[in-house]
Amino acid sequence: MTTIRHGRVSLELHELRTAPGPTLLCLHALGGSAADFRDAAALWRGRVFALDFAGHGRSDPLRGGAYHPEMLAGDADAALAQIGAARLIGRGVGAYTALLLAGGRPDLVPAALLLPGAGLEGGGAAPDLVNDTRERWSDLAPPLPGCDPAVRRLERDLRPPDYAASFALAARRLLLAEDGASRPPWWEAVQQSPSAARAPAELSSALAFLAE
């Protein structure tokens, strides 16, 4: 386990597997932690790292509680600064974060696998003009176990489809795991991008796609 810094926040970066081959960086879902990727690590031929996002696992909480996906992308980018280029696998809010990073750092992210999970949807595609402020900013739901209570703000940020699509357009290769369940509008927009392809929901098959 390595401690890395994003701004003033200390984060834990876990090396789950050491082996020759391409590097994989795992980004967990809302309320999750690096420990959620032990199964993925066992299936990957190469080094596997998993990050605890701020407010999760063994990483620091964010003083002031201003959690949002672009901040999490800064967490993950700090991990890339440490380990170099890596394929990404993200679940839930970690999938959205992986999209942002794949679009913002195409030189460091050859491919990203997006999986469903907690925090995938965020606060919707655009503001709801009638109740938006109250619904999005009002008091938070009960804390998630082992997490900073304020991480639930990651259920409130807006994720416009055209914003997400612009990141998909800049990304090199995106794999979107489909299991027949409905997906939020940002995911549907990303699915239309030339860089995007459907992947099986079953993890070992999806990882085989990602390794290509």
Residues making contact with another protein (CB under 8 A): 5-9, 54, 62-68, 70-71, 73-74, 77-78, 81, 100-101, 103-106, 126-127, 129-134, 136-138, 150, 153, 156-160, 163, 166-167, 169-170
Q: Which residues pair with 146 in a beta bridge?
A: none
Q: Write the burial class of residue 162 (CB in 10 Å: 0-12 exposed, 13-18 middle, 19+ buried).
A: exposed
Would you report the helix, strand and coil content of the chain in percent, each value rounded to 5?
Answer: 35, 20, 45
Nearest residue (CB) to another protein, 109 versus 210: 109
Distance set, CA 85 to CA 4, 103, 112 (Å): 16, 14, 12
Nearest residue (CB) to another protein, 64 versus 180: 64
State the nearest-atom distance from the C-beta of 39 to another protein, in Å. Answer: 29
Contact between residue 33 and residue 92 where contact means Cβ atoms under 8 Å apart: no
State the nearest-atom distance from the C-beta of 132 to another protein, in Å. Answer: 6
Distance of CA 195 to the CA centre of its chain: 18
Nearest residue (CB) to another protein, 82 versus 191: 82
Nearest residue (CB) to another protein, 78 versus 118: 78
Residues 6+ apart with CB under 8 A from 83: 13, 23, 25, 47, 49
The residue with tokens 């080094």 is 47
Nearest residue (CB) to another protein, 44 versus 186: 186
State the nearest-atom distance from the C-beta of 68 to another protein, in Å. Answer: 6
State the nearest-atom distance from the C-beta of 99 to another protein, in Å. Answer: 10
- For β-strands 24-27 and 87-91, DSSP reports them as parallel
State the nearest-atom distance from the C-beta of 135 to another protein, in Å. Answer: 9
